[in-house]
Structure 1
Amino acid sequence: MRILLIVNPAAGRRSRRDVAGETAAILRSGGWEVALRETGWPEATRALAREGAAEGFDAVFACGGDGTLSDVIAGLLDTGVPAGIIPAGTGNDFARTLGVPLDPLAAAESYLRGRAGPLDLLCVDDGRLWAINIMGVGFDARVARRVNARSRITGGLLAYLTGVAAELAANRPTIVRVTADGERWEGPVLLVAVANARSYGAGMMIAPQAEIDDGLLDLVVVEHLSRTSFALNFPKVMRGTHLSLPVVHSWRASKVIIETDEPSPVLIDGDVKGDTPLTVEVAPARGRIWRPGSRANSEGG
């Protein structure tokens, strides 16, 4: 196996260069050939992934977070080359869905026993953007926008807590019109999530039944909540036990259209990328992803 390992030094907190070097050593111990290249921004990541496919690498792995993996997969689109994730970001939510160990070195060991499989992708506005995990409109996206605006001044964690506090204080509903395969829902919401995978926000199980290879999107709408209802019900959203709540609505669909009364930020694979309205369609098996294997499988048990 020839692997290109693309490293995002800015993802997460621990030195990504150190993690990448240790990961490469584990993969090489299993007989894999590994080349490392660094990236600093999304366009560069996509370009490196395309170059890796053209150079004949058997897979291109991202050492970083969900955003880095999303860009690698976008760069590999229609090449047939699988992507992989060494979880070294902040949330590592896509790795959670895959069942990849969140320790980067354990993840590398599991990949030596793994194999590539199909991956559905989220196609936004006829291919303007591609995503792998979850898209959000409402509370989560507004918090992320505040964080992005303040993080250079106050720092990451403080900026996030400030954003959450500000949005809770404002407690503004987002008025949405959602159409899922022709079925329409309209009203004030806390958030809307269009999911390929199960969690975002470092483990918030917004779509606990989602599968990355079922050819469908999971749409989850959480109606607007008072601050008291938020405190009572949001922990259930974190645990993934919220789908039966009367304020939660869910569908499975192949195409989702989201419209709002006013332009609202859209959170895509952890980053704010544009505003509503938007159209999201599933692209079944449009990508490929390296999945971990179990030690029992490698030993024939």
Structure 2
Amino acid sequence: MKTLFVVNPVAGRGKCLKIWNNIKYHIKFPFDFVFTQAPGEAAEIAAGARNRGFTRVVAVGGDGTICEVGNGLALSDVEMGIIPAGTGNDFIRTIGIPQDPKDALAVLEQGHTQYIDLGRHEKGFFINVAGVGLDAEVARATNEDVKFLSGTPAYIFALITTLIHFSPRKAVVEVDGKTYHRKLWLAAVGNASFYGGGMMICPDALVDDGLLEVCLVNDMSRLEILRFLPRVFSGGHKSHPAFEVFRGKQVKISFEIPTAAHADGDCIGCTPVSFSIMPRALKVIGNNFTHFRG
């Protein structure tokens, strides 16, 4: 098997480079590797690897790197492996990859493969969750403003600061042609369950069911949303009366004023935005797949 490691040296606030410099000495099979130098380059490298005869491409970085590599390999039979080295490391929770890089390498060597769905937006694919509203603003703040923290603390700090100026706003959500009028803090569109460093925002999303899970967080007070959000880490928010779920293949979201949107934590512009599902679009290497049918 011809393997290429795509390493994002700045992922995880720079810890990725240290992880790679350690892990490369433990790789027991032939491989090539390349460092990314700019946002979006991992997708180009992965797409090029397909044409160069690689049968496996391993993303070494965080969810952003994984998403980019997934975009480059989408709709092919090239396998995607993962060595987690990012800030949130959310997708590995879905496919059973350990946080420890050496253990993740063992999964790469011994794990099995599975085809998963990908979410789609106007600029490409997403692997975890896209969203509009508060979560998109938090993602922007985490990436651009919170340089002194990493992991879950970075998301929490960004959330608290964002809550100061963001308020619920009127929205129109369309799911497979059915229209819903709501006043929302956020709308999350999940292919997988997790984002934001372990927040299970779309708790029942399955990455191989051919559907998107559309999760709406309706209007509530700031105090109440501060009570609501910690429950998202365990999935306990499912029972909250302001939480609402729909499922479908085509989703369109509009807000009364232009509102930030993200896909896997990266800004994709402002509303209105549309999303769809691409079934069985990516072949991934994992272990003990937890959010799959059966």
Scaled by the length of structure 1, what TM-score is found?
Answer: 0.88
Per-residue deviation, residues 7-53 of structure 1 (Å, max 9, x unmatched): 0001014642332243333331xxx2221110022332112112211
SS for the counterpart of 2:78 is: coil
For the 8 Å contact 2:63–2:91, the answer to whether it is kept is yes
SS for the counterpart of 1:42 is: coil
**Number of the residue aligned with 2:116:** 119
**Number of the residue aligned with 2:57:** 60
Distance (Å, rounded) in 1 between the aligned partners of 2:274 and 2:49: 31
**Number of the residue aligned with 1:7:** 7
Per-residue deviation, residues 119-151 of structure 1 (Å, max 9, x unmatched): 1011113xx321111001111111233344535
**Number of the residue aligned with 1:46:** 43
Distance (Å, rounded) in 1 between the aligned partners of 2:247 and 2:288: 29
SS for the counterpart of 1:9 is: coil
- The aligned length equals 287
**Number of the residue aligned with 1:100:** 97
The correspondence for 2:262, drawn from 258, 267, 284, is 267
**Number of the residue aligned with 1:258:** 253
Q: Which segment is superposed worse, 218-227 or 139-148?
A: 139-148
The correspondence for 2:75, drawn from 73, 78, 101, is 78
Distance (Å, rounded) in 2 between the aligned partners of 1:244 and 1:184: 23
* 1:170 aligns to 2:170 (yes or no): no
Change (3 A) 1:261 1:40: same
**Number of the residue aligned with 1:286:** 281
Distance (Å, rounded) in 2 between the aligned partners of 1:24 and 1:270: 28
For the 8 Å contact 2:82–2:108, the answer to whether it is kept is no
Per-residue deviation, residues 40-75 of structure 1 (Å, max 9, x unmatched): 223321121122111211210100001101111111
Change (3 A) 1:148 1:140: same
Structure 2: 5+ residue stretches without partners? 290-294
For the 8 Å contact 1:171–1:226, the answer to whether it is kept is no
For the 8 Å contact 2:76–2:281, the answer to whether it is kept is no
* 1:141 aligns to 2:126 (yes or no): no
- Give the root-mean-square deviation of aligned CA atoms: 2.1
Per-residue deviation, residues 69-112 of structure 1 (Å, max 9, x unmatched): 11111111233212121110000000111111011111111221
**Number of the residue aligned with 1:214:** 209
Pairwise CA distance, 1:160 = 5.7
Same amino acid, percent of matched pairs: 35
Q: Which has the larger Rg?
A: 1
**Number of the residue aligned with 1:276:** 271
For the 8 Å contact 2:119–2:276, the answer to whether it is kept is yes
For the 8 Å contact 1:195–1:207, the answer to whether it is kept is yes
Q: Which segment is superposed worse, 160-169 or 97-106?
A: 160-169
In the alignment, residue 5 of structure 1 is paired with which amino acid? Answer: F
